Amino acid sequence: MSAKSSKDRASLCAFSFSDGRQCRIPRHKANSRYCLAHARKIRHLEEADEVANEILEPISGSFISSAALTQSLVHLFAAVAEGRIPPKQASALAKVSSVLMKSIDASNDEFQTVFIPTYWAQLVRSSYGDLPPYTRNLPQPDPEPDPDDADDSGDSENPSS
């Protein structure tokens, strides 16, 4: 009798509820593990994870540049256009990104006030990881003249002394 019940159980949905009960609905397809309802729910959860990863990937580091935030917004727009994310949720995420963009601008101003301006550019560049060297050369600050060099140059101008 247990052999028959295990064969019957094999044709049923493999979904387990939080209280330990098993779904008793037959599997949707022979090669599927779940009934139609649970297969849809699981597919929806997997797609939601994919969309979240696409949106968060550019801004997942400890530093968020405005270009990375823009890239995330592009992924958000595409997900809404494809119907993979509800417009109401996208609106909330866009409002949060607006706040983030303002904080990035304020951070940029503060950072450039405290540190040399080229350091901000280096920080943004490093946030992109390994990229080919197709960026323009950043202007280097003029080095402070060495007082010892100034004395040497004065002697070379007047060779008769």
Q: What is the pTM of this model?
A: 0.54
pLDDT value for 149: 59
Domain assignment of residue 151, yes or no: no
Distance CA 32, CA 26 (A): 10
46-99: per-residue pLDDT in tens?
Answer: 888 888 888 888 777 777 778 888 888 888 888 888 888 888 988 998 899 889
CA distances from 135 to 63, 66, 91, 130 (A): 19, 17, 34, 12
Domain assignment of residue 152, yes or no: no
Domain assignment of residue 82, yes or no: yes
Domain assignment of residue 36, yes or no: yes
Enumerate residues 6+ apart whose C-beta is below 8 A from 65.
Answer: 104, 124, 127, 128
pLDDT value for 1: 44
Which helix H or strand E contains 23, and what residues bound it? Answer: none
Domain assignment of residue 25, yes or no: yes
Sign of the Cα torsion 152, 153, 156, 158 reads negative
Look at 28 and 40; give whichever has higher pLDDT: 40
Structure confidence at residue 161 as a pLDDT band (50, 70, 90): very low
Structure confidence at residue 133 as a pLDDT band (50, 70, 90): low
Distance CA 28, CA 47 (A): 19
Domain assignment of residue 136, yes or no: no
Q: How many domains does the chain have?
A: 1
Domain assignment of residue 5, yes or no: no
Identify the domain containing residue 17 by its residue range. Answer: 10-127
Domain assignment of residue 31, yes or no: yes
